[in-house]
Structure 1
């Protein structure tokens, strides 16, 4: 199997985009970007520092009055124009994602339409955000409240699905009337920069959306900046803790979409063929590099052995290879370091002696050896206290655990610091509702993968986050409420 070289020519210039212009930060460190499928260098990305961040925040703040003053119907039309441009450039955005982080093309092709849908949905909210009138006593008066934009919003996104992550945050933030500074990682700056170019093409004023690719230095400068009115971070718990500490100095509110160790509960009355297919898809799409991945597969004792065999056969049947190939399901991980981290979990599980490595568990060799590939891995008979059952691996590793009955299943699923998503497989409707009511997770899918349309609120419990994206809740995430009382 041969891997095609990355089409570097389609990548946008990786320099920061501030106020509608490229910003050259003389102090920026150059970080090499590598194509995950081959490990080869594509180009160097300037990693923004304090100068870039300060310029971006200043530009966003100076543009804020202009953006807030745009009439709601005009904002609606601008966001609809942006959605149209995203749809028109969907193939280009798909190809950029393949090169950016090795996302398999079939998966990458889903993201641009989903992001366009986000902007179409929130465009509809732009001219529908009204206020509320409240009863008051004992003094007569007219009391009402209105939603206003937070102001300048700092958006920090991860490398695993940057286009989708940015779209789901940017759409409600702009619809609410905010200006933004986006910090994508240096590993994956390209879709964010291309989306920002489309923002300008749509006629949205320069300075409304600013993009500063960068690492920890840029992130630290951004979250501590007194000119930032709201922070939204998608990423890991330890980084979120540092952001909360930095934000405390300015009392800056923070929204968090963090990691997960999502449980997938399979009861003995489920259709096992369907349940096994869903288990593999829920856990191993994007090679497991997804916060909602159902990487804890909890199966009732009576059907456990059958599920092991079914899952193993379905995993081995899915094609692994060139992410530019439409038929590829398993692509590479983001980096060589990610491969080592994921395989570290597998090696420690082997050393424990209790789990069984059913399939996978090693770096992929031969023609894929230079890329960042780990074979999709199924681990059975995983103890409840095992590291691989409790910590987020963020790689193609599916851990299978046993449970006795419904109460045991719910207790096992909830025995985690995370609470982002959960999956339930059962043909008993009453059980589905009971279990969903008792699971400590922000989103629960029953007997299928329902996706995340922009109309539904999404966010986590416990260590998986604070706040919600999607629906009216997503609009309110980037708004503040003002109350007015008028004497009568």
Structure 2
């Protein structure tokens, strides 16, 4: 299907509108910003059904399938972002800055940390056992002027940011534009990715409150249009969610450029007293992470790192493959997926292709036993970006030694630094030495987000922990990008987000073989839209029924 393109005249008109709105937006009173954040959830709610239907049609999926769950997930994320932004702006209006939801603590590693989740009893009921914190160095004190920096300016000038939207997850372009508008005070020109340009009509309606006064404009076009807009003199800065190739093409624009560019995401499986049931349930959890969104996520698990000689290593591999056999294959709707999968299969003859893939679909692919010292390191340096993951093992004297080596391996040999996962049994954590080793691993992993006992999408879902690559990347070695989004608490220089989840969850409506996961995620979107007691009870009931 040819890419829809906004005409040159319409692009120029959009840029003029944004230029005219740049200063008025920068100086818009907080009360009016809050009023916009009150209207946006209602406008978004009004387009839920046609938005979901359009996404399912574009991805060749049916209602009631896992693909429907994924769209409701996106709505939940956007609703959460809107709610937390409103809360922060209300606190700025009352007290000058967003208020830290937890106490600041000084870690021995030289980091400030603040607990950001859970904040309420409802949080604990909806997401039992899940905790999140944000870490940073030096100027992390919530009373410093760097916090909510835009709102500390006496006469802000604003700016015009071009957002080159992601095509894989429909919450991403919405989240990026909300961050640039409400956290950084910029007006936004959003160019939709051709892959999900079907959202144009529904995003125009959902974000009409921002479009009507000229604070936001949404356009369409391919990479050529994106390049022309990035170079346009009216554009002050660019944010891209995409590939390192896209970032490289934009480096010469001579403007601030922030980016989130994906990841070869590691899952470090720490040996411990796992029962047969533990192995099966963990394999189900991470197989589900692999197939979510047909594998087209920047935090899809790509490399499972295990310890050589662990008695349950092969059992875990087999359980993961067995679970994948029970998950229907999906249409390969993201461009280039078939070619990437074929290249990996050709490179690694031990690749296991799982499932009866129909026309236009791809089998789930698992490639165990990669040599951790392989010189070419294809699977370690290239993001497959489809339903494919690999496994490797490291020699180690014991689980603590393994964890230390796994962290080194992830930092030194895997491309990207967006998100990493550590899987560790709760009984292992009863050993003070292992608990200390896990905390040290969290500190040492050079990733923007570290999640214990879940995958990176959980942090993205929370919409409270800043989202982006580890700080310090340079254009010469950009890795997963530079800059942070999804930062409603408006931390100035966050270093790392840390999320911890239970090893086992019951019920677990998230699993790919759950027949009613779509109903759970739809109920969650209802709750996030209107977080009242009735919707919370409906959410808990949907979880039990899943």
State the TM-score, normalizing by the size of structure 1.
Answer: 0.75
1:278 alignment partner, SS class? helix
Quote the Cα distance in structure 2 between the aligned partners of 1:102 and 1:207.
35
* Aligned position for 1:358: 352
TM-fit CA distance, 1:165: 0.6
* Aligned position for 1:100: 58
* Aligned position for 1:230: 237
1:21-420 maps to which residues of 2 (within 5 A)? 32=1, 45-48=3-6, 50-102=8-60, 104-129=67-92, 130=96, 148=156, 150-161=158-169, 163-176=170-183, 177-200=185-208, 202=209, 205-246=212-253, 248=254, 252-269=255-272, 271-301=278-308, 302=310, 303-320=312-329, 331-335=330-334, 337-350=336-349, 356-360=350-354, 365=357, 368-369=358-359, 372-384=360-372, 385=374, 386-404=377-395, 405-414=402-411, 415-420=413-418
Does structure 1 residue 435 correspond to structure 2 residue 441?
yes
1:381 alignment partner, SS class? strand
Quote the Cα distance in structure 1 between the aligned partners of 2:210 and 2:167.
27
* Aligned position for 1:482: none
Give yes or no for contact 1:299–1:402 (8 Å, CA) kept in 2: yes
TM-fit CA distance, 1:127: 4.6
Q: 1:424 aligns with which of 401, 422, 425?
A: 422
| CA 244–379 in structure 1, closer or farther in 2 if over 3 Å, else same | same
TM-fit CA distance, 1:133: 8.3
| CA 276–268 in structure 1, closer or farther in 2 if over 3 Å, else same | same
Quote the Cα distance in structure 2 between the aligned partners of 1:425 and 1:262.
13
| CA 119–389 in structure 1, closer or farther in 2 if over 3 Å, else same | same
* Aligned position for 1:467: 483
Quote the Cα distance in structure 2 between the aligned partners of 1:441 and 1:234.
17
| CA 77–475 in structure 1, closer or farther in 2 if over 3 Å, else same | farther
TM-fit CA distance, 1:347: 1.5
Give yes or no for contact 1:349–1:388 (8 Å, CA) kept in 2: no
1:471 alignment partner, SS class? coil
Count residues in correspondence.
399
Give yes or no for contact 2:296–2:334 (8 Å, CA) kept in 1: no
1:419 alignment partner, SS class? coil
TM-fit CA distance, 1:282: 2.6
Q: Give CA deviations for 1:122-170 in whole Å, capped at 9, x if unaligned.
A: 1233354447888xxxxxxxxx855846421111012111x21112112
2:4 alignment partner, SS class? strand
TM-fit CA distance, 1:281: 2.4
Which sections of structure 2, spanning at least 5 residues, go unmatched? 62-66, 98-142, 146-151, 396-401, 430-434, 474-478, 494-546
TM-fit CA distance, 1:259: 1.5
TM-fit CA distance, 1:45: 4.5
State the TM-score, normalizing by the size of structure 2.
Answer: 0.68
| CA 49–221 in structure 1, closer or farther in 2 if over 3 Å, else same | farther
Quote the Cα distance in structure 2 between the aligned partners of 1:89 and 1:221.
31
Give yes or no for contact 1:50–1:218 (8 Å, CA) kept in 2: no
| CA 431–95 in structure 1, closer or farther in 2 if over 3 Å, else same | farther
| CA 133–257 in structure 1, closer or farther in 2 if over 3 Å, else same | closer
TM-fit CA distance, 1:192: 4.1
Quote the Cα distance in structure 2 between the aligned partners of 1:470 and 1:186.
23
Quote the Cα distance in structure 2 between the aligned partners of 1:147 and 1:259.
36
Quote the Cα distance in structure 2 between the aligned partners of 1:82 and 1:394.
32
Give yes or no for contact 2:243–2:262 (8 Å, CA) kept in 1: yes
Quote the Cα distance in structure 2 between the aligned partners of 1:197 and 1:397.
36
TM-fit CA distance, 1:69: 4.2
Quote the Cα distance in structure 2 between the aligned partners of 1:149 and 1:113.
32
Quote the Cα distance in structure 2 between the aligned partners of 1:409 and 1:447.
16
Quote the Cα distance in structure 2 between the aligned partners of 1:335 and 1:411.
32
Let me know the Cα RMSD of the aligned residues. Answer: 2.5
Q: Give CA deviations for 1:77-117 in whole Å, capped at 9, x if unaligned.
A: 11221112213432222222212345711211211122122
Q: Give CA deviations for 1:206-248 in whole Å, capped at 9, x if unaligned.
A: 42221111111111111111211221100001210221222x1
Larger strand proportion, structure 1 or 2?
A: 1
Quote the Cα distance in structure 2 between the aligned partners of 1:289 and 1:349.
21
